[in-house]
Structures are given as C-alpha cells and as structure tokens.
Copies of this chain bind each other. A is one copy, B any other.
Amino acid sequence: MRSTRRRGRALALAWCVTLLVVAGGGPARAQDDPLPSWNDGPAKAAIRTFVRRVTTPGGPEYVAPPERIATFDNDGTLWSEQPMYFQLAFVLDRVKALAPKNPDWATKQPFKAALEGDAKALAASGERGLLQLLMATHAGMTTAEFDTIVRSWLASARHPRFQRPYTDLVFQPMLELLAHLRASGFKTYIVSGGGIEFMRPWTTEVYGIPPEQVVGSSIKTRFEMREGKPVLMRLPELDFIDDKAGKPVGIQKFIGRRPLAAFGNSDGDLQMLQWTAAGEGARLMLIVHHTDGEREWAYDRQSHIGRLDKALDEARAKGWTVVDMKKDWKVIYPFQR
C-alpha cells in the first residue's frame, strides 16, 4: 500500500518536472538575464561563472545547497554610505530628538557638536565621543522600542543629496545579485559593521534578508520583568564589533559555516574575504569599487568612510573580482530605472 503510493508520487513528480520545464518554469534560459542592471564585463562574467560552477549537478565543483552561504557587507556594498554612514545620520537625528529631555547636552561635548552639526568638533571627539553618542541613542530602551524608533526614523528621514528615504539608496545591481544567488539555492546573509538591530527592522523588505540572517555589531541586552511582562533592555555596553577581524568571528559565531561567496567594498571587509578565499573549491570574493562620482560617489584609498586600500591591493594580487561601479552598473539605484 505504502509502496504503491510512493510509486504514484514519484510518477506525479516526474510529470511535474516535465510540465514545468516545458512551460518554461525550469532552469533559467539564456535570454532570462538574472542580472539585467549589470553591463557585460569581467565582473558579471565572474559571478555567472561562479554560480554555474557550484550549482551544476554532477560537476566537479558542485556544492550542496545547505553549504551555499553568501555574506554581504552592508554600508557601501548594498547601499550607499556617503556623505556619512546612514546609521550616523540616525544617531545625529536621535540626539536632536532627545535633546529637549537632556538640556545639559546643549553645552556638553560631543552632544553640543552633534546638535550644532559641528563636524570638526564631532571628529575631534574621536571614537570615545562617537561611542557616547551611540550609547545615548541606542541604549536605555527595550528591543521592541528600539525597533519602533528605527522604523519611524526611516519613514521620515531623507537623504540630503537625493531627498529620498535612505532605504531607496540601495544598489539595484546588488538587489539582482541577491535574488540571483537565492534563486540559485544560496542563503544570503548581511555581515556588517553596522548595528544588528538598526538593520533588522528593514532588511526583509528591502533586501529579502530575514532578521536571523543579519550579523552586525551589537550592544548587550538584559532580560527583565517589567510590570510582569518580560522585556529585553538595551544596555550602554558594547557586546560585539562586527568589523575587520571581527567579521570572520561573527560569521563563525552566527552562521558556523565558511561562506562560499563574500561581498564587500572596504578594508573593513578584507578579513571576511580572506576567510572566504581560504576555503576549498570554487569561491567568489567580490569588492564594489566606488568609481562613479556622478551617479553615486567616487572614493577609495584616501577616504575616511569606507576606505578601500589594502583590500584593493589584495584583490588585484589574488584575482578577486573588483566591480567598477561606473563601468559595470547600468543603474545605481532602483528609482533610476
């Protein structure tokens, strides 16, 4: 009885495959370009070749779907990061929003500099100053409250150059790449130096990446009962910095597998790319080089934001893929299509 049903099922499945392939629902055909915003060139070819190598059943470099892990840096790789990291714009806006309840900030650095938009004084406050601003705006509330704060900021904040929501400034070619990898059986992860809980509220909608596939920097949280209801309080204490040598650490901690492909744009991604490259078999290491001063921004070795220097040298020395934004991308943002 059971084996009859099994045979019936196998037959039905075979029929389905036939029908779907005939109807064009099978493997993508050549005319269905999964990367329409990418110009033909070495970067696009490297992506297509890599995907073919690891997904061709029976091929010498075939990798089973569970092992198809792809990790993406966020700032400068999936969305823009100029004229300042978008999370820093969030910090400055939050300092302004919280200032009425903190009258001492008007005369106290680094808050005074943040309130007055004094970039020089802000820079002078250094890493310690930045950390103070971060804790004042990211801690002291529950995880649920912070989620609401991020969502409502994104709904109202506008990027100074494009006058659009920050989440509009994602790279159309990278959205296509994310979708192409997922359609090819990859699990796509963000591995960013940015705050994990700053990203999670919007990555599903914007990138198709769910909260559990976001790795980022974090502060500590504490479980407590508030009026009989459990909450997680965000504490003003660093937990983990997911940048530079922290990226492979974060990958092992959260994913526990070495990526097959990794995507970055700055020296902050170098170790993630090295860690990925050190695995066996076919791997894809890709760097987005910001070369388009007109449509986006052009910067690399000398930039304070997203500096790309050592990683560019290593990419060239080791034959990693370097995307020339200006040459390789037909459009930058979805709204330009």
What CA separation (Å) do A25 and B15 show in the bound complex?
Answer: 13
- Distance A212 CA – B25 CA, assembled complex (angstroms): 30
A249: contacting residue among B24, B212, B222, B249, CB under 8 A: B222
Q: How far is the CA of A218 from the CA of B197 in the complex (A)?
A: 21
Binds B, one of A149-157, A270-278, A284-292: A270-278
In angstroms, Cα B66 to Cα A253, docked, is 22
Contact of B16 with A19 in the complex, beta carbons under 8 Å: yes
| Count, chain A residues at interface, CB 8 A | 49
Q: Say whether B20 contacts A196, CB under 8 Å.
A: no
The answer to whether A222 and B245 touch (CB under 8 A), given A9-B24, A12-B22, A25-B13, is: yes
The CA of A5 and the CA of B28, in the complex, are separated in Å by 13
Residues of the B chain whose Cβ atoms lie less than 8 Å from the Cβ of A278 = 229-230
CB distance from A229 to the nearest CB of B (A): 6
Q: Which of A196-223 contact B (CB under 8 A)?
A: 196-197, 200, 204, 210-212, 214, 218, 220-223
Q: What are 14 A-B contacts with C-beta separation under 8 Å?
A: A5-B23, A9-B24, A9-B25, A16-B16, A16-B19, A143-B252, A211-B255, A212-B256, A221-B249, A221-B253, A223-B245, A229-B278, A230-B274, A230-B278
